[in-house]
Structure 1
Amino acid sequence: MSSTENPGARSQQVPVPETAGPDAVTPDAGTPAAPTPEAAALADPTADGTAPPEATAEVQPEVPATVPAPQETSPTEQTVAVPAEQTVTVPAEEPAAAEGSVPERTVPVPARPAPAVATVSDPAQWGRVDEDGTVYVRTADGERAVGSWQAGDPAAGLAHFARRYDDLATEVSLLEARLKAHTGNPSEIRAKVQALADSIPTATAVGDLDGLAARARAMIGTADSAAAESRAEKAAARAAQVARKEALAAEAEQIAAESTSWKTAGDRLKAIVEEWKTIRGIDRKTDEALWSRFAAARDAFGRRRGAHFAALDVQRGEARAAKQALIAEAQQLSTSTDWGPTSAAMRSLMDRWKAVPRTGRDGDDDLWKQFRAAQDVFFTARAESDKARNSEQLTNQQAKEELLAEAEKLDPTGDLRGAQAALRRIQERYDAIGHVPRGAMRSLEDRMQAVEQRIRGAADSGRVRSAPENPMVTSMRAAVTKAEEQLAKAEAAGDARRIDEARVNLATRREWLAEAERAASRR
């Protein structure tokens, strides 16, 4: 793994192109222009700050960058590793010239913000360059050739291969730091660590390869533990998300089975769908099973709601037909002038209307307006009739009050028979007058009875008092008197039929009175 694969972990590093084989070196290797190991120092995030006494350097805020060289190297094309924020002057060798005056070129390298204290190993401790330029590294298994250095100073060759080791050490340190900080995918980090652990023992680098490989192998166990923890956390998060969706599905099933608040329940199901979309991290099989539960509950609710409103439509249709029939009856009765029975029929229609269910807000209001309009026609006509009748009754009341005032002026003490005759004439006119308002009827009758009693009392006081009369005779005499009064009223009205009936009745009463008087005298 190359550290350039994780841009969040370290800055971009330009790789050094290598030719195939362990003998590949840069043209500057072994020359005065070659950078020193101190210039290639890198930070070790897991280091405790203790460096070997051979080389500990403070680097600039940028990690050294490597300027790539072309695939085909030539004496005039240079590949240089430089420290941060430096301009390196590199001599370019002429093909046929010895070491002497050479032109110079400058290579600007941008800074990278990664200030750190790096520990650089002593390449001479871990390797050597023999007389023929072969570079060896020392490991626990002995020396192993890692390349060839033909460009000059052996120390520069060792430094070149030590920088390769430092790059590997940097990658190991970065992975250790990522595991310690719990950043990144532990499984991916383990795969990279495993690849590093496998490649370090055969790396073409000079340094403590055995120690670096041991560090990489130690990270494998740590990565396994971190991966297990990550799997456990993911499983817990998945279980929590599954529980959320199970709760939503159960709520939807309860709504589908019990709710009759159709609008509120429908809005809640829509909200559940929106919340459902925000729950992630569940395997597809489980998610589809839970969605099937929710979809089935939503469909069941929709069917139950549809059946309810279908039944409601049928009920409203029946109610509409019933109310239209009531409207037709009311319209038929609205022209009747038989006020009493029709009023009772209208009240019955109203009671029947109230017993019929509603047909919906708009339709019911329209039907009610038609029904009420038919009733208003009748009751308005009745009110006009009552108004005219009341006016007539007030006129009758005024006429009766005038007759009562005349009757109350009669004086029976002077002319009893004249007073009685005048009273009879007044009573005939009084009875001929039509109805009076209900509230005045009682007071008018009481005044007339008072006049009758006053005149009758005067007649009784003028008779000679004798022994108490036989009750039968008294009753018969009263019946004769009443028959006489009825005959007088009939004659005053000029009704021949009533006159004949009154005369027959009077004759019969007189015969009964005579028979009663004879029976009483014999005792």
Structure 2
Amino acid sequence: MTDTTQHPGPDDSERETAAPTDTPEQTDTPDEGAQTGADAAAVEPAAAEVADVLESVESTEAPAAEAPVAQEAPVAEEAPVAEEAPVAEEAPVAGEAPVEETTEAPAETPVEEGPSAEEEAPSPAAVAVPKPSAIPTPAALARTAPHPVAPVAPAVPETDHSASAAFGRVDENGTVFVRTPEGEREVGSYPGATDAEAITYFARKYDELFASAVLLEQRLALPEVPSKDVADGLKTLAAQVKDAAVVGDLDALAAKLDEIQSGIASKRTVEQQHRAEARAAATAEREAIVAEAESIAGQPESKIQWKTSGARMRELLDEWKAHQRSATRLDRETESNLWTRFSAARNGFDKARRTHFAGLDAAHGEAKATKERLVAEAERLASSTDWAATAGAFKRLMDEWRRAGRASRADDDRLWSRFKAAQDSFFAAKDEVVAAEEEEFKGNLAVKEALLVEAEAILPVTDLEKAKAQLRAIQDKWDAAGKVPRADMERVEKAMRRVEQTVRDAEDRKWKSSNPEVAARARAMVDQLERAVADLQDDLAKAEASGSASKVKKAREALEARQVWLDQARAGVAEFGG
């Protein structure tokens, strides 16, 4: 949070602001309108003179490139560059201590504030670093200035570091200490600066570390940031915090780092759980791929659709490779076991496919040889004029063709074309002959239809001998008439057979009636039934005489049954003329 309270102090246009690093770098940041042209002209020669005076001191101090700004080494061995070394300030001229900024800002982390002037300034690595000897001290500028510079209100401070500065102290030698629960600890010194500026410098370094911790904590809360990245950042930050020369609440900073460490542990647990779930899902998907491959390979060979199954096996292999390229990896043992099963299924399927097609090629070869033989015989028979026998031969060849099985598609199509051409050639010639015969047979049909009219006039048969003589004459004419068209052949033949069957039935009946043996058996049956009826009549008379109703009823029923049989037997004897 930026402190907006105006405090009297050195003019921003007459001081060089140092970057917050262990080797402070500085750049001119003039405040527009903060200094008149006369004041600037007065400061420039003074700064040049002070630079000449300090050059002699530089040879006894550490080189500028190696001189730390604030460290725990003795102040005499340091060559620090002041963070905000005042060019000309009111306090040294008047012999008074510089006015400290007393307005306290809320103890908030700089990360949550808006961009400050320090954040907008170039990074420390990008700012040119002058030698420490070229930095004028306030006292030197005061002695060489031609006249006092009018005090100007400072710019608004970028960040209030007073909360962190409260943990620091500067002794009479200018050494800065930080207060900790274990006691005070020496931090370093800031030569050429006031006590407040020195403490603020080290407090700002603390706030920067704390802001880095807060930023790391915010990254920890982002789901897309892995815990490893945060852990690496925490490791780097912890290395910076260790033995850091800063002023501030070190316990709070340590507690913040502990919170981040705990958060990393929790996030690792969540990540491990997510990885375990993803691994379980990936394992299930791989298991499904393997199971489908095993199902395809385990089909009965007679039911496998090789083209479809082979394409599906290739798709499963592509799916397996896609899973291997995905972010989720399986453990080595699980993946090895699944791959072993998947590879075994693929190899088994490929072996079965090769065996199947090898056998199929052999069967195709045998079928091809058989069909080539059938085609050669069919082509030989194609020119035959023995219509009935050759038609039967072609039927036999067709049956053998069906039993021969399938050759390859190309061979089957080629051989079938030759076989069918030979077959069609024979039957086309036969059909031409049959068509010519059909025209000739139409006259025969008219003759046979007239004979049918004469034959049907014989029925019903009243005079068997006359009917037989008429039928024989008609049959002779029928045979002499010749063949009829194929379409009418069955109709006229059935009609003639019906007449012939009627005459034969009449003849059979006459023969049966005149058979002596049959007549004798019929007469014997009648005599036997007559004797039985006479005996039953006697039994009925006795039953009536006895007065038993049941006996009467039984005797009468037996007599009636025998009487019916006797009547039927007498009717049969009558047919024979007995």
- TM-score between the two structures when normalised by the length of structure 2: 0.55
| Partner residue in 1 for 2:417 | 369
Structure 2 Cα separation of the partners of residues 126 and 371 of structure 1:
111
Alignment match of 2:322 (pick from 278, 282, 287): 278
Structure 2 Cα separation of the partners of residues 92 and 120 of structure 1:
23
Give the letter for the 1:278 counterpart: A
Structure 2 Cα separation of the partners of residues 432 and 265 of structure 1:
67
**365-374 or 233-242, which deviates more:** 233-242
1:263-342 to 2 correspondences below 5 Å: 263-279=307-323, 280=326, 281-283=328-330, 285-286=332-333, 287-342=335-390
| Partner residue in 2 for 1:145 | 186
| Partner residue in 1 for 2:131 | 73
Q: Does the 8 Å contact 2:164/2:207 carry over to 1?
A: no
Structure 1 Cα separation of the partners of residues 200 and 264 of structure 2:
32
Point out the structure with the larger helix share. 2
Q: Does the 8 Å contact 1:190/1:224 carry over to 2?
A: no
Give the letter for the 2:434 counterpart: D
Alignment match of 2:262 (pick from 212, 215, 221): 221
| Structure 2: runs of 5 or more not aligned | 1-18, 24-65, 72-77, 90-98, 149-157, 453-472, 500-578
Structure 1 Cα separation of the partners of residues 289 and 448 of structure 2:
87
Structure 2 Cα separation of the partners of residues 179 and 311 of structure 1:
66
Structure 1 Cα separation of the partners of residues 432 and 220 of structure 2:
101
Matched, 1:389 2:437: yes
Give the letter for the 1:264 counterpart: T
| Partner residue in 2 for 1:437 | 484
Instruction: Give deviations 1:2-26, integer Å, cap 9, x for gaps.
Output: xxxxxxxxxxxx9846245514643
| Partner residue in 1 for 2:38 | none
SS at match of 1:296: helix
Give the letter for the 1:73 counterpart: K
| Partner residue in 2 for 1:357 | 405
Q: Does the 8 Å contact 1:252/1:297 carry over to 2?
A: yes
Over 3 Å counting, the alpha-carbon distance change for 1:393 and 1:250 in structure 2 is closer
Percent of pairs with identical residues: 35
| Partner residue in 2 for 1:204 | 245
| Partner residue in 1 for 2:75 | none
Instruction: Give deviations 1:222-250, integer Å, cap 9, x for gaps.
Output: 32222222223222222221222122122
- 1:167 Cα deviation (Å)? 0.7
Structure 2 Cα separation of the partners of residues 261 and 173 of structure 1:
65
Structure 1 Cα separation of the partners of residues 141 and 88 of structure 2:
17
SS at match of 1:150: coil
Structure 2 Cα separation of the partners of residues 189 and 56 of structure 1:
17
SS at match of 1:122: helix
Q: Does the 8 Å contact 1:138/1:144 carry over to 2?
A: yes
- 1:330 Cα deviation (Å)? 1.4
- 1:121 Cα deviation (Å)? 4.0
SS at match of 2:247: coil
**55-64 or 359-368, which deviates more:** 55-64
Alignment match of 2:177 (pick from 100, 118, 136): 136
SS at match of 2:252: helix
Over 3 Å counting, the alpha-carbon distance change for 1:118 and 1:157 in structure 2 is closer
Give the letter for the 1:350 counterpart: M
Over 3 Å counting, the alpha-carbon distance change for 1:326 and 1:129 in structure 2 is same
Q: Does the 8 Å contact 1:31/1:153 carry over to 2?
A: no
SS at match of 1:258: coil
Structure 1 Cα separation of the partners of residues 260 and 291 of structure 2:
45
Structure 1 Cα separation of the partners of residues 290 and 449 of structure 2:
88
SS at match of 1:136: strand
Give the letter for the 1:141 counterpart: E
Structure 1 Cα separation of the partners of residues 385 and 112 of structure 2:
122
| Partner residue in 2 for 1:472 | none
- 1:135 Cα deviation (Å)? 1.8
- TM-score between the two structures when normalised by the length of structure 1: 0.60
Structure 1 Cα separation of the partners of residues 159 and 188 of structure 2:
25
Q: Does the 8 Å contact 1:134/1:148 carry over to 2?
A: yes
Q: Does the 8 Å contact 2:205/2:247 carry over to 1?
A: yes
Q: Does the 8 Å contact 1:201/1:213 carry over to 2?
A: no
Structure 2 Cα separation of the partners of residues 182 and 387 of structure 1:
93
Q: Does the 8 Å contact 2:164/2:206 carry over to 1?
A: no
- 1:170 Cα deviation (Å)? 0.5
Give the letter for the 1:26 counterpart: V
Over 3 Å counting, the alpha-carbon distance change for 1:118 and 1:246 in structure 2 is farther
Instruction: Give deviations 1:352-397, integer Å, cap 9, x for gaps.
Output: 2223322243322221111111112221222222233334445667
Over 3 Å counting, the alpha-carbon distance change for 1:226 and 1:431 in structure 2 is closer
Q: Does the 8 Å contact 2:20/2:83 carry over to 1?
A: no
Over 3 Å counting, the alpha-carbon distance change for 1:189 and 1:390 in structure 2 is closer
Structure 1 Cα separation of the partners of residues 100 and 318 of structure 2:
60
Over 3 Å counting, the alpha-carbon distance change for 1:368 and 1:153 in structure 2 is same
- 1:185 Cα deviation (Å)? 2.5
**How much is the aligned-residue C-alpha RMSD, in angstroms?**
4.6
Structure 2 Cα separation of the partners of residues 229 and 366 of structure 1:
70
Q: Does the 8 Å contact 2:86/2:138 carry over to 1?
A: no
SS at match of 2:179: strand
Matched, 1:233 2:274: yes
Give the letter for the 2:305 counterpart: S
Q: Does the 8 Å contact 1:172/1:215 carry over to 2?
A: yes
SS at match of 1:366: helix
SS at match of 2:186: strand
Q: Does the 8 Å contact 1:133/1:150 carry over to 2?
A: yes
Q: Does the 8 Å contact 1:37/1:160 carry over to 2?
A: no
1:404-483 to 2 correspondences below 5 Å: 435-437=482-484, 439=488
Structure 2 Cα separation of the partners of residues 25 and 384 of structure 1:
126
| Partner residue in 1 for 2:288 | 247
SS at match of 1:145: strand
| Partner residue in 2 for 1:31 | 86
Number of matched pairs:
376
Q: Does the 8 Å contact 1:242/1:282 carry over to 2?
A: no
